Amino acid sequence: MTPVADLPEALRARIEGRDVIVFDGECVLCSGFFRFMLARDRERRFSYATAQSELGHALYTALGLPIDDFETNLVIVGGCIYGKLDAFAAAMRALPGPWPVLGAVRWLPKPLKDPAYGVIARNRYRLFGRYDACMVPDADLRARFLPGGFALG
């Protein structure tokens, strides 16, 4: 977990006060997570960005993560940035209904959860597939993305 306050000021200003999900728009699994969240986020709590976007690149770079292979989604909730399985847990805890119970994965030991997440992340395209390009959202969906948070193509 990294506090949003640790980001460079200009980047922090672009997301501060918002809950955000940054996902690999070419990964079938990651895009499925995005669609899952979108369908259950009835209060429109989350804004979104693709990892391939200018904003996505800026966030990954500021966090010291590679921008040529996005092996983690990022979830920003309550001023904290989460990655890997902790990102999934934070997203589940933010949803209404029965979903917060899935946030219990955050209690798994780090030496267990990080390697397990890493195996899936490294093999996600082979296991789940890859889109040739990021989706093209309609106007309503595009409004859910932060400025600079969507990459065409």
Residues 87-103 pLDDT 10s? 999 999 999 999 999 99
- Could you give the number of structural domains in the chain? 1
Whether residue 84 is contained in a domain is answered as yes
* CATH code where residue 42 lies: 3.40.30
DSSP 8-class letter at 77: E
Cβ-contact 13, 27 below 8 angstroms: no
Q: Identify residue 148 by its one-letter amino acid code.
A: G
Whether residue 85 is contained in a domain is answered as yes
Whether residue 44 is contained in a domain is answered as yes
> In sequence order, what are the beta bridge partners of 48?
21, 145
Which 3 state secondary structure label does DSSP give 76? strand
Cα–Cα separations (whole angstroms), residue 57 to 11, 61, 77, 102: 11, 6, 19, 28
Host domain of residue 75: 2-132
Whether residue 37 is contained in a domain is answered as yes
The confidence score (pLDDT) of residue 137 equals 66
Whether residue 113 is contained in a domain is answered as yes
In the chain, DSSP finds a helix count (H) and a strand count (E) of 7, 5
Helical ranges in the chain per DSSP H: 9-15, 28-40, 54-62, 84-94, 110-122, 124-128, 139-142
Tokens (6 digits) for 115: 């390697």
Is the pLDDT confidence value at 133 over 70?
A: no
- C-alpha 41 chain-centroid distance: 14
Contacts of 4 (CB under 8 A, 6+ apart): 12, 15, 16, 76, 79, 80, 81
The confidence score (pLDDT) of residue 14 equals 92
pLDDT digits (tens, 9 = 90+) for 58-86: 999 999 999 988 889 999 999 999 999 99
Whether residue 139 is contained in a domain is answered as no
Whether residue 109 is contained in a domain is answered as yes
Whether residue 152 is contained in a domain is answered as no
